[in-house]
């Protein structure tokens, strides 16, 4: 197991050395031109009983996000087909639930998973806390991965969320792993945490057995009306350091440059790809948060000489 001291030693390497190590490991395990494009769809927006202090969908804050009912399978199918035509190979579904309740809504989500898989896409869902039984049923439906972020360090977590415990997160992750579903688990930078908190989060991820196959690294998108609306932006060099450290610690994982890309320059994103990030979410919104336009992403990929969006299969 990698200790916090070891992680700190990696993170604090001189920048060129850190980047070189991350690039070498990245190339040994991945094609560096293979940046997976994922689409993320909110299948049930807003009205969430949790109080995550960064979230537009929490019912605790007045953010102007109107709650919606659970989407139909037909609508999900249409969106997934469209995302596939635009080059997505993974389709992620998010529901603003504290936990996934039994009954018709859960059955519908299972049907959505079957439909996304039928279209030949990887399927990832995030539904809040899961029981062991629900994890098994998702596995049977063909789910590729379950997203359940730890967000930040264990010690900083109560400053960000008071309606659930870090250990409850861990328990759902164990249920997912036990069912044989890959875990997608990462964090958010810019929640008022310090460097040590970020490294502690990586240590928590490194302690998971097996390690997560997918690690989303988000930068806070400050949402007006939430307690973190005035949070300071993440330092770009610190972001690249964290991506590189994650790549070194998790050689096989997809490290996903997730929320916050709309506030990143193309140069910063390119540096993150060099440091080992090998996935983005595309589409004009990310759940309810802004995201770069598809056009801007397609142009960036073209300018970086990466496989073109417009060349995607239809």
By C-beta, is 127 or 257 nearer to ligand SF4?
127
End-to-end CA distance of the chain: 44
Among residues 7, 48, 113, 300, the one that binds ligand SF4 under rule CB under 6 A: 48
Q: Which one of the listed residues 219, 256, 261, 272 is annotated catalytic? A: 256
Closest separation in Å from C-beta 230 to ligand SF4: 19
Among residues 96, 201, 205, 277, the one that binds ligand SF4 under rule CB under 6 A: 96
Q: Which one of the listed residues 21, 37, 38, 55 is annotated catalytic? A: 55
Whether the ω angle into residue 169 lies within 30 degrees of 0, i.e. cis, is no
By C-beta, is 71 or 249 nearer to ligand SF4?
71
Among residues 10, 35, 39, 52, the one that binds ligand SF4 under rule CB under 6 A: 52
43/154 Cα distance (integer angstroms): 29
Site for ligand SF4 in 109-138 (CB under 6 A): 128
Number of residues that bind ligand SF4 (CB under 6 A): 8
Closest separation in Å from C-beta 128 to ligand SF4: 6
Establish if 55 lies at the interface with ligand SF4 (CB under 6 A): yes
Active site residue 256: yes
Which value, to the nearest 10 degrees, does the dihedral of the CA atoms of residues 6, 8, 10, 15 take?
-170
Sign of CA dihedral 169, 174, 179, 180: positive
Establish if 65 lies at the interface with ligand SF4 (CB under 6 A): no
Among residues 39, 58, 186, 271, the one that binds ligand SF4 under rule CB under 6 A: 58
Which residue's entry shows tokens 């250990």? 167
By C-beta, is 226 or 278 nearer to ligand SF4?
226
Which residue's entry shows tokens 């998108």? 221
Active site residue 184: yes
By C-beta, is 96 or 242 nearer to ligand SF4?
96
Establish if 50 lies at the interface with ligand SF4 (CB under 6 A): yes
By C-beta, is 41 or 96 nearer to ligand SF4?
96
Specify the stretch interacting with ligand SF4 by CB under 6 A; choose among 44-52, 62-70, 210-218, 293-301: 44-52
What one-character-per-residue DSSP string does the chain give?
---HHHHHHHHTS-HHHHHHHHHHHHHHHS-TT--EEEEEEEEE-S-BS---TT-TTBTTS---PPP-PPPPHHHHHHHHHHHHHTT-SEEEEEE--SB--SSHHHHHHHHHHHHHHHTT-EEEEE-SB--HHHHHHHHHTT--EEE---BS-TTTHHHH-SSS-HHHHHHHHHHHHHTTPEEE--EEE-SS--HHHHHHHHHHHHTSSSPPSEEEEEE----TTSTTTTPPPPPHHHHHHHHHHHHHH-TTSEEEE-TTGGGS-HHHHHHHHHTT--EEE-SSEETTEE---HHHHHHHHHHTTPPPGGGS--
Active site residue 185: no
Specify the stretch interacting with ligand SF4 by CB under 6 A; choose among 1-9, 45-53, 224-232, 233-241: 45-53
Specify the stretch interacting with ligand SF4 by CB under 6 A; choose among 16-24, 52-60, 107-115, 222-230: 52-60
By C-beta, is 45 or 278 nearer to ligand SF4?
45
Establish if 63 lies at the interface with ligand SF4 (CB under 6 A): no
Annotated catalytic residues are: 48, 52, 55, 92, 124, 184, 256
Can you give the binding site for ligand SF4, defined by CB under 6 A?
A: 48, 50, 52, 55, 57-58, 96, 128
């Amino acid at each position: 197991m990698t200790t916090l001291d070891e992680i700190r030693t990696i993170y604090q390497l001189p920048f060129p050395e850190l980047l070189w190590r991350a690039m070498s490991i990245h190339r040994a395990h991945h094609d560096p031109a293979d940046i997976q494009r994922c689409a993320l769809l909110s299948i049930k927006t807003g009205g969430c009983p949790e109080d995550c202090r960064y979230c537009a969908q929490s019912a605790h804050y007045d953010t102007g996000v109107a709650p919606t009912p659970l989407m139909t399978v037909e609508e999900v199918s249409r969106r997934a087909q469209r995302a596939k035509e635009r080059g997505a190979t993974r389709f992620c579904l998010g529901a603003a639930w504290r936990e996934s309740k039994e009954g018709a809504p859960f059955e519908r989500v299972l049907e959505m998973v079957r439909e996304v898989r039928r279209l030949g896409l990887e399927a990832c869902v995030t539904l809040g806390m899961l029981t062991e039984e629900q994890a098994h049923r998702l596995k049977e439906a063909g789910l590729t991965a379950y997203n359940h972020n730890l967000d930040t360090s264990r010690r900083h977590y109560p400053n960000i969320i008071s309606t659930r415990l870090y250990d409850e997160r861990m328990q759902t992750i164990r249920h997912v792993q036990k069912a044989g579903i890959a875990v997608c688990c990462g964090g958010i930078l810019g929640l008022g945490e310090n460097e040590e908190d970020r490294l502690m989060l990586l240590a928590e991820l490194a302690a998971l057995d097996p390690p997560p196959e997918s690690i989303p690294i988000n930068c806070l998108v400050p949402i007006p009306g939430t307690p973190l609306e005035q949070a300071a932006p993440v330092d770009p060099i610190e972001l690249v350091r964290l991506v590189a450290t994650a790549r070194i610690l998790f050689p096989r994982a997809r490290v996903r440059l997730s929320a916050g890309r709309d506030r990143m320059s193309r140069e910063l994103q390119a540096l993150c790809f060099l440091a080992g990030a090998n996935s983005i979410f595309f589409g004009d919104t990310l759940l309810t948060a802004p995201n770069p336009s598809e056009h801007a992403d397609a142009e960036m990929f073209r300018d970086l000489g990466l496989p073109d969006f417009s060349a995607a299969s239809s």
